[in-house]
Structure 1
Amino acid sequence: MNNLNSRVKLNNGIEMPVVGLGVFQVEDGQIVIDSVKAAIKNGYRSIDTAAIYGNEEGVGQGIKEAIEENGISREDLFITSKVWNADLGYQSTLDAFELSLKKLGLDYLDLYLIHWPVEGKYIESWKALETLYKTGKVKAIGMSNFQIHHLQDVLEIAEIKPMVNQVELHPLLSQVELRNFLKENSIQVEAWAPLMQGQLFENETLLKIAKAHDKSIAQIVLRWHLQNEIVIIPKSVKEHRIQENANIFDFELTTEEMKTIDTLNQNHRVGPDPDNFDF
């Protein structure tokens, strides 16, 4: 993981960028178009969206314009979307996938995820993801917000092993037990809200480490993720922040600094608990 082009190999051999742009809560239209274009112009190759974000059309337009303007090909990019809770089930997942693909204006996705583990529904959706994978319309499949027991349910019936689990993960919610389970099962962990939606920026411990490296707290936290082999998708709509979030390959945290950051864990979430959510 020595530059923005660094990738991790998933359990099916597909390579996934270690850093991407997340577009959760980014308004559809020009704002998201410009964010996607700024990211790709600055070297990002991974964009993460979801049906429920309501911005797949803008993301697709941003991808289209960025490809034209930067002389890159679709194959250089890694595009992720997710099936929403209301569409879980076998046929409804297949239909939701086709709609996402159409909105994005793409022929295939690189990664498609089940967004939340809605009880009684995610197994049928997993079977739908396996069908999509077998057709080649998606290069990798996985889930988001799945706890160990949800993953065990899927692994019991899966013909195809999940490749990615995207979860809330940051120094105050370090998810060590889940990360160990994923590693044992060759499933890549990916962090959403890696910066805890900005709630870490006043942390004194992180500030001290940031000053020692002449970096921002955001850069320290993102570096902590990378050194823990966690894929990250920090969100920003400002180009200078998009650049800053990618400027994390010219320094390394010491073993002691990594341990210090590990001690910040409080199992504290900014998002819903996957065992107790209602949407």
Structure 2
Amino acid sequence: MLTRLKAKSEGKLAKQICRVVLDHFENQYSKELGDAWNTVRDILISPSCWQYAILLNRFNYSFELEKDLHLKGYHTLFQGSLPYYPKSMRCYLSRTPDRMPSERHQIGNLKKYYLLNAASLLPVLALELRDGEKVLDLCAAPGGKSIALLQCAYPGYLHCNEHDSLRLRWLRQTLESFIPQPLVNVIKVSELDGREMGDAQPEMFDKVLVDAPCSNDRSWLFSSDSQKATWRISQRRNLPILQLELLSMESILEDTMVTGARDPKAHEFIAHLLRTLSFIHTEMEKLESSI
């Protein structure tokens, strides 16, 4: 089964590198990473070397697929090494470079697996989601972390928010492809500015997942639109400010960290750190406007 799926994806691995983006990376990362940049660069420009974890969908479980993964030498991730790892979550990674294609979206049919970066599961597991809890996925598209959350537990309420309209469609399609109809009733999808969620959504969440927008270097390196890629590069400097604003939301500081943090001292430290960063950012803006 894996051999058949892999054959279909061979033609998709050849991608055209956007020279504008690569030149920018060469200039920036060669200074920041030094000699290590050469190794990073080799992997970055070689999609066939990228490793994706395979997250099985418990709502359409395939014994045949899991058996094939074992036969191909795939191994389970994190199990036994983390304090929280639900038995309902099944995630595999190959010990050697291997690539499976994404399944096609078919209305009415649930997909059997989701491809994602294995590291992206760590914040999901860190939430230690329990049945019945109310959770907010603040920047949810394309939906991988929301899907992962639902592999861990049955939340009482899952709010998936995405401010970008195009990515919102992607999010809706992902949820439709993985979640059975009965569970859809506890899921809400919105298109709100995450920085205003505290005012727009005053309800209390037990836990909040913030996958703040990032530079997404790997995707833009293979952009077919060099003009748009150039604009994207110019916007990179604004990302830290946006990330800070999302993390500094009053609703997250007062609601989520209190209910989600296991150690009150740790919560207080993080809350103090975010308030300090927010204060520094405000003072920097004042200084820049006075120059």
Query: TM-score, normalization: structure 2?
Result: 0.28
Greater Rg by CA: 2
More helix by share: 2
